[in-house]
Structure 1
Amino acid sequence: MSAPSNDNLDEFTITFRREIVFYLRQLINDGTPISIMFNGGNDSILTIALDLDESKDILVFDWGSSEEVNQRFLKSERNIFIARPHGIRNQFVTGQPKEVTHQKRRAFAVKLPEKYVRLQRREFFRLTLPMTQRPPCTIKQGDGTEIILEVVDIGLGGIALEAASLPKPCEIGQTFAGVRIDLKGHDELLVDLVVRYRGEITRGQKQMARLGCEFRKLSPAQDNQLQRYVTQIQREERLRMGG
Protein backbone atom coordinates (compact mmCIF):
# COMPACT_ATOMS: atom_id res chain seq x y z
CA MET A 1 0.00 0.00 0.00
CA SER A 2 1.59 3.27 -1.09
CA ALA A 3 1.47 6.44 0.98
CA PRO A 4 -1.32 8.88 0.12
CA SER A 5 -0.43 11.80 -2.11
CA ASN A 6 -0.08 15.27 -0.64
CA ASP A 7 -3.42 16.15 -2.25
CA ASN A 8 -5.26 13.43 -0.32
CA LEU A 9 -4.22 13.90 3.31
CA ASP A 10 -7.46 15.14 4.86
CA GLU A 11 -8.23 11.92 6.72
CA PHE A 12 -4.72 11.96 8.23
CA THR A 13 -4.64 15.68 9.09
CA ILE A 14 -5.11 16.94 12.66
CA THR A 15 -6.23 20.54 13.20
CA PHE A 16 -7.24 20.42 16.89
CA ARG A 17 -4.51 22.44 18.63
CA ARG A 18 -4.32 20.43 21.84
CA GLU A 19 -3.94 17.21 19.89
CA ILE A 20 -1.16 18.77 17.78
CA VAL A 21 0.59 19.86 21.00
CA PHE A 22 0.16 16.34 22.39
CA TYR A 23 2.00 14.77 19.43
CA LEU A 24 4.71 17.44 19.42
CA ARG A 25 5.34 16.80 23.11
CA GLN A 26 5.73 13.09 22.33
CA LEU A 27 8.47 13.95 19.83
CA ILE A 28 10.18 16.05 22.52
CA ASN A 29 9.87 13.44 25.28
CA ASP A 30 11.11 10.59 23.09
CA GLY A 31 13.92 12.56 21.44
CA THR A 32 12.65 11.47 18.03
CA PRO A 33 14.95 12.48 15.13
CA ILE A 34 13.32 15.03 12.79
CA SER A 35 14.33 15.81 9.21
CA ILE A 36 13.55 19.32 7.97
CA MET A 37 13.32 19.77 4.21
CA PHE A 38 13.60 23.29 2.78
CA ASN A 39 14.79 25.25 -0.24
CA GLY A 40 12.52 23.22 -2.49
CA GLY A 41 13.87 19.97 -1.06
CA ASN A 42 17.47 20.84 -1.97
CA ASP A 43 18.51 21.35 1.67
CA SER A 44 17.80 19.46 4.87
CA ILE A 45 18.62 19.55 8.55
CA LEU A 46 18.53 16.64 11.00
CA THR A 47 17.40 17.79 14.44
CA ILE A 48 15.36 16.98 17.54
CA ALA A 49 12.58 19.01 19.18
CA LEU A 50 13.73 20.49 22.50
CA ASP A 51 10.82 22.45 23.94
CA LEU A 52 7.35 23.79 23.28
CA ASP A 53 5.82 26.99 24.67
CA GLU A 54 2.08 27.23 24.10
CA SER A 55 1.85 30.73 25.57
CA LYS A 56 4.43 32.01 23.08
CA ASP A 57 3.15 29.73 20.29
CA ILE A 58 6.62 28.36 19.50
CA LEU A 59 8.41 25.06 18.98
CA VAL A 60 12.13 25.03 19.80
CA PHE A 61 14.51 22.56 18.16
CA ASP A 62 18.21 21.86 18.03
CA TRP A 63 20.75 23.87 16.02
CA GLY A 64 22.07 22.03 12.95
CA SER A 65 25.59 20.68 12.52
CA SER A 66 26.43 22.83 9.47
CA GLU A 67 26.59 26.58 10.05
CA GLU A 68 26.29 27.24 6.32
CA VAL A 69 23.07 25.21 6.11
CA ASN A 70 21.77 26.80 9.32
CA GLN A 71 22.11 30.27 7.83
CA ARG A 72 20.25 29.24 4.68
CA PHE A 73 17.56 27.67 6.84
CA LEU A 74 17.05 30.93 8.77
CA LYS A 75 15.99 32.55 5.47
CA SER A 76 13.60 29.77 4.46
CA GLU A 77 9.88 30.65 4.46
CA ARG A 78 8.48 27.12 4.01
CA ASN A 79 9.85 24.14 5.90
CA ILE A 80 8.61 20.56 6.00
CA PHE A 81 9.26 18.63 9.22
CA ILE A 82 9.21 14.82 8.96
CA ALA A 83 9.60 12.33 11.82
CA ARG A 84 8.85 8.62 12.06
CA PRO A 85 8.15 7.70 15.68
CA HIS A 86 7.45 3.94 15.85
CA GLY A 87 7.41 3.81 12.05
CA ILE A 88 4.50 6.26 11.71
CA ARG A 89 5.20 9.20 9.40
CA ASN A 90 4.53 12.50 11.22
CA GLN A 91 4.68 15.64 9.09
CA PHE A 92 3.99 19.34 9.46
CA VAL A 93 4.88 22.58 7.70
CA THR A 94 6.10 25.80 9.32
CA GLY A 95 7.10 29.28 8.27
CA GLN A 96 10.43 31.03 8.66
CA PRO A 97 12.50 30.06 11.75
CA LYS A 98 14.40 32.38 14.04
CA GLU A 99 17.48 31.86 16.17
CA VAL A 100 16.94 31.58 19.93
CA THR A 101 18.91 30.49 22.98
CA HIS A 102 17.79 27.33 24.76
CA GLN A 103 19.57 26.25 27.94
CA LYS A 104 22.50 28.52 27.01
CA ARG A 105 22.84 26.94 23.57
CA ARG A 106 21.86 28.13 20.09
CA ALA A 107 18.59 26.74 18.80
CA PHE A 108 15.83 27.39 16.29
CA ALA A 109 12.23 28.34 16.98
CA VAL A 110 9.17 28.34 14.72
CA LYS A 111 5.50 29.10 15.19
CA LEU A 112 3.48 26.02 16.17
CA PRO A 113 1.92 24.36 13.11
CA GLU A 114 -1.83 24.71 12.51
CA LYS A 115 -1.98 21.30 10.82
CA TYR A 116 -0.28 18.04 11.71
CA VAL A 117 -0.29 14.96 9.49
CA ARG A 118 0.04 11.39 10.82
CA LEU A 119 0.15 8.85 7.99
CA GLN A 120 -1.03 5.64 9.59
CA ARG A 121 -1.75 2.44 7.77
CA ARG A 122 -4.14 0.40 9.84
CA GLU A 123 -1.71 -2.45 10.45
CA PHE A 124 1.05 -0.03 11.49
CA PHE A 125 -1.05 2.25 13.69
CA ARG A 126 0.47 2.63 17.15
CA LEU A 127 -1.15 4.43 20.07
CA THR A 128 1.23 5.95 22.61
CA LEU A 129 -0.40 5.33 25.97
CA PRO A 130 -0.76 7.95 28.72
CA MET A 131 1.34 7.30 31.84
CA THR A 132 -1.78 6.34 33.82
CA GLN A 133 -3.02 3.90 31.15
CA ARG A 134 0.00 1.66 30.61
CA PRO A 135 -0.85 -2.04 31.02
CA PRO A 136 1.55 -4.52 32.61
CA CYS A 137 2.96 -7.16 30.28
CA THR A 138 4.17 -10.42 31.84
CA ILE A 139 6.83 -12.40 29.97
CA LYS A 140 8.26 -15.79 30.99
CA GLN A 141 12.06 -15.78 30.98
CA GLY A 142 14.38 -18.59 29.93
CA ASP A 143 14.74 -19.89 33.50
CA GLY A 144 10.96 -20.07 33.98
CA THR A 145 10.64 -16.97 36.13
CA GLU A 146 8.43 -14.07 35.05
CA ILE A 147 9.26 -10.42 34.44
CA ILE A 148 6.78 -7.57 34.16
CA LEU A 149 7.30 -4.74 31.65
CA GLU A 150 5.17 -1.67 30.96
CA VAL A 151 3.35 -1.27 27.63
CA VAL A 152 4.12 2.26 26.35
CA ASP A 153 2.49 1.98 22.94
CA ILE A 154 0.22 -0.54 21.30
CA GLY A 155 -1.39 -1.26 17.93
CA LEU A 156 -2.65 -4.12 15.80
CA GLY A 157 0.90 -4.86 14.66
CA GLY A 158 2.68 -4.93 18.01
CA ILE A 159 3.76 -3.13 21.15
CA ALA A 160 6.65 -1.22 22.71
CA LEU A 161 7.67 -2.13 26.24
CA GLU A 162 9.80 -0.42 28.87
CA ALA A 163 11.32 -1.61 32.13
CA ALA A 164 14.40 -1.22 34.29
CA SER A 165 15.74 -4.39 32.65
CA LEU A 166 14.80 -6.74 29.81
CA PRO A 167 13.94 -10.45 29.90
CA LYS A 168 16.84 -12.91 29.75
CA PRO A 169 17.62 -14.04 27.13
CA CYS A 170 16.35 -11.32 24.79
CA GLU A 171 17.58 -11.27 21.20
CA ILE A 172 16.29 -9.73 17.96
CA GLY A 173 14.04 -12.29 16.26
CA GLN A 174 13.37 -14.21 19.49
CA THR A 175 9.78 -15.26 20.21
CA PHE A 176 8.20 -14.98 23.65
CA ALA A 177 5.27 -17.39 23.86
CA GLY A 178 2.23 -17.03 26.12
CA VAL A 179 2.79 -13.37 26.96
CA ARG A 180 0.04 -11.88 29.16
CA ILE A 181 -1.06 -8.25 28.68
CA ASP A 182 -3.59 -6.91 31.19
CA LEU A 183 -5.79 -4.51 29.20
CA LYS A 184 -7.56 -3.31 32.35
CA GLY A 185 -11.27 -3.71 31.76
CA HIS A 186 -10.84 -5.49 28.42
CA ASP A 187 -9.67 -8.78 29.91
CA GLU A 188 -6.25 -10.30 29.48
CA LEU A 189 -4.65 -10.56 26.05
CA LEU A 190 -2.62 -13.76 25.58
CA VAL A 191 -0.18 -13.46 22.67
CA ASP A 192 3.15 -14.55 21.24
CA LEU A 193 5.61 -11.69 20.69
CA VAL A 194 8.55 -11.52 18.28
CA VAL A 195 11.37 -9.14 19.28
CA ARG A 196 12.08 -6.58 16.53
CA TYR A 197 13.98 -3.90 18.47
CA ARG A 198 15.85 -3.48 21.74
CA GLY A 199 17.56 -0.42 23.13
CA GLU A 200 17.57 2.22 25.85
CA ILE A 201 15.74 5.49 26.44
CA THR A 202 16.19 8.24 29.01
CA ARG A 203 13.19 9.06 31.19
CA GLY A 204 14.06 12.05 33.35
CA GLN A 205 17.16 10.94 35.25
CA LYS A 206 16.58 7.24 34.58
CA GLN A 207 17.86 4.95 31.83
CA MET A 208 15.11 2.56 30.81
CA ALA A 209 15.36 -0.53 28.63
CA ARG A 210 12.98 -0.53 25.63
CA LEU A 211 11.70 -3.46 23.63
CA GLY A 212 9.77 -3.31 20.35
CA CYS A 213 7.75 -6.45 19.58
CA GLU A 214 5.52 -7.71 16.78
CA PHE A 215 2.40 -9.76 17.46
CA ARG A 216 2.58 -13.25 16.01
CA LYS A 217 -0.74 -14.07 14.28
CA LEU A 218 -3.52 -12.37 16.24
CA SER A 219 -6.84 -14.17 16.01
CA PRO A 220 -9.93 -12.22 14.81
CA ALA A 221 -11.18 -12.18 18.42
CA GLN A 222 -7.86 -10.74 19.65
CA ASP A 223 -7.89 -8.20 16.82
CA ASN A 224 -11.35 -7.01 17.94
CA GLN A 225 -10.27 -6.97 21.57
CA LEU A 226 -7.33 -4.72 20.74
CA GLN A 227 -9.40 -2.41 18.55
CA ARG A 228 -11.95 -1.91 21.34
CA TYR A 229 -9.18 -1.14 23.81
CA VAL A 230 -7.40 1.35 21.51
CA THR A 231 -10.68 3.08 20.65
CA GLN A 232 -11.56 3.50 24.33
CA ILE A 233 -8.14 4.97 25.21
CA GLN A 234 -8.36 7.41 22.27
CA ARG A 235 -11.85 8.48 23.33
CA GLU A 236 -10.73 9.06 26.92
CA GLU A 237 -7.72 11.11 25.77
CA ARG A 238 -9.85 13.31 23.51
CA LEU A 239 -12.27 13.97 26.37
CA ARG A 240 -9.33 14.77 28.67
CA MET A 241 -7.98 17.27 26.11
CA GLY A 242 -11.39 18.84 25.66
CA GLY A 243 -12.09 17.46 22.18
Structure 2
Amino acid sequence: MSSATAEGLSISDEESKYLIHSRTEIAFLLHGIMKHNALITVYFNGGSEFILTSIVGFDPANNGLLLDLGPDDDLNKRLAESKHLLITTTHERVKVKFSGTQATRVNYKGHAAFRVGVPQNLIRMQRREYYRIATSIVHPLKCRIMLPIDGVDLMAEVTVLDISCGGVALIDQHHSVDLEPGNSYAICHLALPDLGVIVTGLKVCNTYEVTLRNGLACKRSGCQFIGMQESDRNRVQRYITRLERDLHAIGGR
Protein backbone atom coordinates (compact mmCIF):
# COMPACT_ATOMS: atom_id res chain seq x y z
CA MET A 1 0.00 0.00 0.00
CA SER A 2 1.10 3.58 -0.43
CA SER A 3 0.08 7.05 0.60
CA ALA A 4 0.94 10.54 -0.61
CA THR A 5 2.19 13.68 1.08
CA ALA A 6 0.72 17.13 0.60
CA GLU A 7 3.36 17.80 -2.03
CA GLY A 8 2.42 14.76 -4.09
CA LEU A 9 5.30 12.52 -2.99
CA SER A 10 4.13 8.95 -3.32
CA ILE A 11 5.43 6.88 -0.42
CA SER A 12 4.93 3.40 0.96
CA ASP A 13 3.52 2.67 4.40
CA GLU A 14 7.05 1.67 5.49
CA GLU A 15 8.52 4.97 4.27
CA SER A 16 5.82 7.02 6.00
CA LYS A 17 7.51 6.26 9.34
CA TYR A 18 10.50 8.30 8.20
CA LEU A 19 8.64 11.37 6.97
CA ILE A 20 10.02 14.64 8.37
CA HIS A 21 7.79 17.75 8.64
CA SER A 22 9.90 20.04 10.85
CA ARG A 23 11.07 23.05 8.81
CA THR A 24 14.09 23.45 11.10
CA GLU A 25 15.13 19.82 10.68
CA ILE A 26 14.59 19.95 6.91
CA ALA A 27 16.72 23.11 6.61
CA PHE A 28 19.47 21.57 8.74
CA LEU A 29 19.46 18.41 6.62
CA LEU A 30 19.56 20.29 3.30
CA HIS A 31 22.43 22.51 4.49
CA GLY A 32 24.31 19.37 5.53
CA ILE A 33 23.78 17.87 2.08
CA MET A 34 25.12 21.04 0.46
CA LYS A 35 28.10 21.21 2.85
CA HIS A 36 29.16 17.69 1.87
CA ASN A 37 28.55 18.40 -1.84
CA ALA A 38 26.40 15.27 -2.04
CA LEU A 39 25.37 14.09 -5.48
CA ILE A 40 21.64 14.64 -6.15
CA THR A 41 19.46 12.90 -8.72
CA VAL A 42 16.46 14.82 -10.07
CA TYR A 43 13.93 12.59 -11.86
CA PHE A 44 11.31 14.11 -14.17
CA ASN A 45 8.89 13.20 -16.96
CA GLY A 46 7.41 10.45 -14.85
CA GLY A 47 10.83 9.19 -13.83
CA SER A 48 11.87 8.41 -17.40
CA GLU A 49 14.62 11.07 -17.38
CA PHE A 50 17.00 12.47 -14.78
CA ILE A 51 19.97 14.76 -14.22
CA LEU A 52 22.77 14.56 -11.67
CA THR A 53 23.36 17.77 -9.76
CA SER A 54 24.11 19.24 -6.33
CA ILE A 55 22.81 21.97 -4.02
CA VAL A 56 24.67 25.24 -4.67
CA GLY A 57 22.71 27.59 -2.40
CA PHE A 58 19.40 28.80 -0.99
CA ASP A 59 17.00 31.58 -1.87
CA PRO A 60 15.23 32.48 1.41
CA ALA A 61 13.19 35.26 -0.21
CA ASN A 62 11.47 32.72 -2.45
CA ASN A 63 11.74 29.74 -0.07
CA GLY A 64 13.95 28.24 -2.76
CA LEU A 65 16.57 25.54 -3.05
CA LEU A 66 19.19 26.19 -5.73
CA LEU A 67 20.58 23.33 -7.81
CA ASP A 68 23.39 23.30 -10.32
CA LEU A 69 22.40 22.74 -13.95
CA GLY A 70 23.10 19.38 -15.54
CA PRO A 71 25.73 19.07 -18.30
CA ASP A 72 23.16 18.35 -21.06
CA ASP A 73 21.32 21.45 -22.34
CA ASP A 74 18.46 19.42 -23.85
CA LEU A 75 17.87 17.61 -20.56
CA ASN A 76 17.97 20.90 -18.68
CA LYS A 77 15.34 22.32 -21.04
CA ARG A 78 13.03 19.34 -20.57
CA LEU A 79 13.53 19.47 -16.81
CA ALA A 80 12.46 23.13 -16.77
CA GLU A 81 9.27 22.16 -18.61
CA SER A 82 8.39 19.31 -16.25
CA LYS A 83 5.74 19.95 -13.58
CA HIS A 84 6.65 17.17 -11.14
CA LEU A 85 10.09 16.25 -9.84
CA LEU A 86 11.43 13.51 -7.59
CA ILE A 87 14.71 14.40 -5.91
CA THR A 88 16.89 11.79 -4.20
CA THR A 89 20.28 11.86 -2.48
CA THR A 90 22.10 10.44 0.53
CA HIS A 91 23.31 12.11 3.70
CA GLU A 92 25.63 10.31 6.11
CA ARG A 93 24.91 7.07 4.22
CA VAL A 94 21.15 7.53 4.68
CA LYS A 95 18.75 7.82 1.74
CA VAL A 96 16.84 11.10 1.43
CA LYS A 97 14.06 11.88 -1.04
CA PHE A 98 11.45 14.56 -1.62
CA SER A 99 9.26 15.91 -4.37
CA GLY A 100 9.41 19.25 -6.14
CA THR A 101 7.32 21.30 -8.50
CA GLN A 102 8.56 22.96 -11.68
CA ALA A 103 12.22 24.04 -11.61
CA THR A 104 12.82 27.68 -12.53
CA ARG A 105 16.04 28.68 -14.26
CA VAL A 106 17.65 31.60 -12.41
CA ASN A 107 20.97 33.41 -12.13
CA TYR A 108 22.87 32.69 -8.93
CA LYS A 109 26.17 34.41 -8.24
CA GLY A 110 26.77 34.89 -11.95
CA HIS A 111 25.94 31.31 -12.91
CA ALA A 112 22.78 29.64 -14.18
CA ALA A 113 20.98 27.44 -11.66
CA PHE A 114 17.63 25.77 -11.06
CA ARG A 115 15.43 26.98 -8.22
CA VAL A 116 12.95 24.55 -6.69
CA GLY A 117 10.87 25.07 -3.59
CA VAL A 118 12.25 23.93 -0.25
CA PRO A 119 10.15 20.84 0.51
CA GLN A 120 7.49 20.99 3.19
CA ASN A 121 8.34 17.40 4.05
CA LEU A 122 10.86 14.75 3.04
CA ILE A 123 11.77 11.16 3.73
CA ARG A 124 14.97 10.32 5.55
CA MET A 125 15.32 6.56 5.66
CA GLN A 126 16.87 5.95 9.06
CA ARG A 127 16.78 2.17 8.76
CA ARG A 128 20.09 0.61 9.73
CA GLU A 129 19.81 -1.76 6.71
CA TYR A 130 20.92 1.14 4.51
CA TYR A 131 24.29 1.47 6.25
CA ARG A 132 26.86 -0.65 4.41
CA ILE A 133 30.50 -1.05 5.33
CA ALA A 134 33.39 -2.67 3.49
CA THR A 135 34.82 -5.79 5.10
CA SER A 136 38.47 -6.35 5.93
CA ILE A 137 40.86 -6.85 3.00
CA VAL A 138 43.50 -8.42 5.25
CA HIS A 139 41.05 -10.88 6.80
CA PRO A 140 38.27 -11.23 4.20
CA LEU A 141 34.85 -12.34 5.35
CA LYS A 142 33.64 -15.56 3.70
CA CYS A 143 30.16 -16.78 2.88
CA ARG A 144 29.51 -20.47 2.18
CA ILE A 145 26.46 -21.20 0.02
CA MET A 146 24.85 -24.62 -0.04
CA LEU A 147 24.31 -25.94 -3.57
CA PRO A 148 22.31 -29.15 -4.04
CA ILE A 149 24.02 -30.87 -6.99
CA ASP A 150 22.98 -34.34 -8.18
CA GLY A 151 21.36 -35.08 -4.85
CA VAL A 152 24.41 -34.02 -2.87
CA ASP A 153 24.65 -30.79 -0.86
CA LEU A 154 27.92 -29.02 -1.66
CA MET A 155 29.18 -25.78 -0.15
CA ALA A 156 30.64 -23.08 -2.42
CA GLU A 157 32.71 -20.35 -0.79
CA VAL A 158 32.59 -16.72 -1.93
CA THR A 159 34.06 -13.50 -0.53
CA VAL A 160 32.00 -10.78 1.16
CA LEU A 161 32.94 -7.29 -0.08
CA ASP A 162 30.59 -5.27 2.11
CA ILE A 163 27.86 -5.97 4.59
CA SER A 164 24.78 -4.33 6.13
CA CYS A 165 22.02 -5.57 8.39
CA GLY A 166 19.96 -6.14 5.24
CA GLY A 167 22.42 -8.02 3.06
CA VAL A 168 25.87 -8.45 1.57
CA ALA A 169 27.81 -7.82 -1.62
CA LEU A 170 29.56 -10.99 -2.78
CA ILE A 171 32.34 -11.61 -5.25
CA ASP A 172 32.79 -15.04 -6.81
CA GLN A 173 36.33 -15.26 -8.16
CA HIS A 174 35.98 -18.92 -9.13
CA HIS A 175 32.56 -18.71 -10.81
CA SER A 176 31.29 -21.45 -8.51
CA VAL A 177 27.81 -20.02 -7.87
CA ASP A 178 25.16 -18.80 -10.31
CA LEU A 179 24.75 -15.36 -8.73
CA GLU A 180 22.17 -14.02 -11.14
CA PRO A 181 19.42 -11.55 -10.11
CA GLY A 182 16.35 -13.38 -8.81
CA ASN A 183 18.22 -16.52 -7.72
CA SER A 184 17.77 -17.54 -4.08
CA TYR A 185 19.78 -19.80 -1.80
CA ALA A 186 18.06 -21.18 1.28
CA ILE A 187 21.11 -22.07 3.36
CA CYS A 188 24.17 -19.84 3.58
CA HIS A 189 26.79 -19.75 6.32
CA LEU A 190 28.34 -16.42 7.26
CA ALA A 191 31.22 -16.75 9.74
CA LEU A 192 31.61 -13.54 11.77
CA PRO A 193 34.94 -13.36 13.67
CA ASP A 194 34.39 -13.94 17.42
CA LEU A 195 30.60 -13.81 16.89
CA GLY A 196 29.96 -17.24 15.46
CA VAL A 197 28.38 -18.59 12.29
CA ILE A 198 25.10 -17.14 11.04
CA VAL A 199 22.82 -19.30 8.91
CA THR A 200 20.54 -17.33 6.58
CA GLY A 201 18.95 -17.37 3.17
CA LEU A 202 20.13 -15.06 0.39
CA LYS A 203 18.39 -13.56 -2.63
CA VAL A 204 20.47 -12.05 -5.44
CA CYS A 205 19.20 -8.54 -6.24
CA ASN A 206 21.79 -7.27 -8.76
CA THR A 207 24.95 -8.45 -10.48
CA TYR A 208 27.62 -6.87 -12.65
CA GLU A 209 31.08 -7.73 -13.93
CA VAL A 210 34.17 -6.28 -12.24
CA THR A 211 37.87 -6.63 -12.98
CA LEU A 212 40.20 -7.16 -10.04
CA ARG A 213 43.66 -5.63 -9.76
CA ASN A 214 45.19 -8.90 -10.94
CA GLY A 215 43.15 -8.65 -14.16
CA LEU A 216 40.71 -11.41 -13.21
CA ALA A 217 37.12 -10.78 -14.31
CA CYS A 218 34.40 -11.88 -11.90
CA LYS A 219 30.90 -11.05 -10.72
CA ARG A 220 29.96 -8.65 -7.94
CA SER A 221 26.50 -9.46 -6.63
CA GLY A 222 24.32 -7.55 -4.18
CA CYS A 223 22.27 -9.95 -2.06
CA GLN A 224 19.46 -9.56 0.46
CA PHE A 225 19.21 -11.62 3.64
CA ILE A 226 16.13 -13.86 3.65
CA GLY A 227 14.61 -15.31 6.81
CA MET A 228 17.37 -14.08 9.13
CA GLN A 229 16.67 -14.36 12.84
CA GLU A 230 16.62 -11.06 14.73
CA SER A 231 19.30 -12.34 17.11
CA ASP A 232 21.55 -13.01 14.11
CA ARG A 233 20.79 -9.58 12.68
CA ASN A 234 21.93 -8.12 15.98
CA ARG A 235 25.19 -10.05 15.63
CA VAL A 236 25.66 -8.56 12.16
CA GLN A 237 25.12 -5.10 13.67
CA ARG A 238 27.75 -5.85 16.32
CA TYR A 239 30.18 -6.91 13.60
CA ILE A 240 29.50 -3.69 11.63
CA THR A 241 30.01 -1.60 14.77
CA ARG A 242 33.34 -3.33 15.36
CA LEU A 243 34.48 -2.71 11.77
CA GLU A 244 33.51 0.95 12.06
CA ARG A 245 35.37 1.30 15.36
CA ASP A 246 38.50 -0.24 13.83
CA LEU A 247 38.30 2.16 10.86
CA HIS A 248 38.01 5.16 13.20
CA ALA A 249 41.01 3.87 15.19
CA ILE A 250 43.11 3.62 12.04
CA GLY A 251 42.02 7.06 10.87
CA GLY A 252 42.84 8.61 14.23
CA ARG A 253 46.45 7.49 14.19
Equivalent of 2:54 in 32, 37, 43? 37
Q: Is the partner of 1:44 in helix, strand or coil?
A: coil
Cα deviation code 1:93-133 (max 9, x no counterpart)? xxx9xxxxxxxxxxxxxxxxxxxxx9753122211223124
The offset of 1:3, in angstroms, is 6.7
Equivalent of 2:198 in 172, 179, 189? 189
- Aligned match of 2:184: 175
Equivalent of 1:140 in 136, 146, 167? 146
1:220 aligns with 2:230: yes
Cα-Cα RMSD: 4.1
Conserved? CA contact 2:144–2:189, under 8 Å: yes
Cα deviation code 1:146-202 (max 9, x no counterpart)? 221111111111110112144444432221121011111111111111111111122
Distance 2:19 2:161 in 1: 26
- TM-score, length-scaled by structure 1: 0.55
- Aligned match of 2:45: none
Answer with 1 or 2: which has the greater Rg: 2
Residues 156 and 38 of structure 1, relative CA distance in 2, 3 Å threshold? closer
Q: Is the partner of 2:70 in helix, strand or coil?
A: strand
Distance 1:83 1:207 in 2: 30
Q: Is the partner of 2:223 in helix, strand or coil?
A: strand
Residues 135 and 3 of structure 1, relative CA distance in 2, 3 Å threshold? farther
Distance 2:244 2:55 in 1: 33
The offset of 1:89, in angstroms, is 4.5
Distance 2:245 2:68 in 1: 41
Q: Is the partner of 1:225 in helix, strand or coil?
A: helix
Q: Is the partner of 2:232 in helix, strand or coil?
A: helix
Distance 2:147 2:163 in 1: 22
- TM-score, length-scaled by structure 2: 0.54
Equivalent of 1:7 in 10, 15, 27? 27
1:126 aligns with 2:132: yes
Conserved? CA contact 2:209–2:219, under 8 Å: yes
Residues 134 and 3 of structure 1, relative CA distance in 2, 3 Å threshold? farther
Equivalent of 1:158 in 167, 188, 193? 167
- Aligned match of 2:158: 149
Distance 2:19 2:69 in 1: 23
| Long gaps (5+) in structure 2 | 1-14, 37-50, 57-65, 77-88, 97-108, 110-123
Q: Is the partner of 1:41 in helix, strand or coil?
A: strand
